């Protein structure tokens, strides 16, 4: 029984590692390169919402990854101080790199 519990414990540990395996350095590097940090921070609201707030808003929503990926890859408008402006596109064409960024934001 003890052995079974230990085995189950390590399966759970491995699974949660897979979910949170987003590469933070790569994600932040891409944010810097794409100038996202001009308007966003992890903890605090600037012109755009804090990434931690975005993660909270989408927690448990199945469409989260898809929605955020579109938001940073398909041209769309956001309101800043009452003015409509195009939202910044991510400076990458590599789907893996973009997916890593989106999962990292959602894991905050
Ligand atoms: C010029 C300022 C500005 C820049 C630069 C910018 N954003 Fe935003 N972003 C905003 C604003 C404003 C919103 C809020 C939009 C809304 O709630 O309608 C937003 C919203 C978001 C959201 C939440 C979308 C949602 O559905 O809730 C994400 C994720 C995001 N931005 C990611 C990024 C990424 C990644 C970059 C860099 C590629 C970036 N932003 C660059 C202003 C900016």
> Distance between alpha carbon 55 and the CA centroid of its chain, in Å?
7
Tell whether 71 is covered by a domain: yes
Report residue 84 as tokens: 């409509």
Please tell me the residue having the least CA distance from ligand 1 atom 20.
Answer: 48
35 lines ligand 1 (CB under 6 A): yes
Q: Is 16 domain-assigned? A: no
- Report if residue 34 sits inside a domain: yes
Task: Give the total number of structural domains in the chain.
Answer: 1
Q: Is residue 14 part of a domain?
A: no
CATH of the domain at 94: 1.10.760.10
Using an 8 Å Cβ cutoff, are 39 and 88 in contact?
yes
Q: Give the nearest ligand 1 atom to 89 CA.
A: 38
pTM for this model (two decimals): 0.86
Is the CB of residue 71 below 6 angstroms from any atom belonging to ligand 1? yes
- The residue written with tokens 């975005």 in the block is 54
Q: What is the pLDDT of residue 10?
A: 58
Domain span at 100: 23-106
Distance 87 CA to ligand 1 centre (A): 6
Report yes or no on 60 lying in a domain: yes
pLDDT (tens, 9 = 90+) of the chain, 108 residues, equals: 666 666 666 555 554 444 557 999 999 999 999 999 999 999 999 999 999 999 999 999 999 999 999 999 999 999 999 999 999 999 999 999 999 999 999 999
With contact defined as beta carbons under 8 Å apart, do 28 and 81 qualify?
Answer: no
Establish if 11 belongs to a structural domain.
no
Q: Is the CB of 64 under 6 A from ligand 1?
A: no
pLDDT digits (tens, 9 = 90+) for 91-101: 999 999 999 99
- Cβ–Cβ under 8 Å, residues 59 and 108: no
């Amino acid at each position: 029984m003890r052995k079974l519990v230990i085995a189950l414990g390590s399966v759970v540990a491995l699974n949660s590692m897979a979910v949170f395996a987003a590469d933070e350095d790569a994600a932040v590097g891409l944010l810097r390169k794409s100038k996202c940090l001009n308007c966003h921070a992890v903890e605090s609201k600037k012109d755009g919402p804090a990434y931690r707030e975005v993660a909270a808003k989408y927690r448990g929503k199945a469409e989260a990854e898809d929605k955020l990926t579109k938001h940073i890859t398909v041209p769309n408008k956001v309101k800043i101080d009452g003015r409509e402006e195009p939202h910044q596109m991510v400076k990458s064409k590599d789907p893996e790199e973009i997916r890593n960024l989106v999962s990292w934001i959602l894991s905050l």
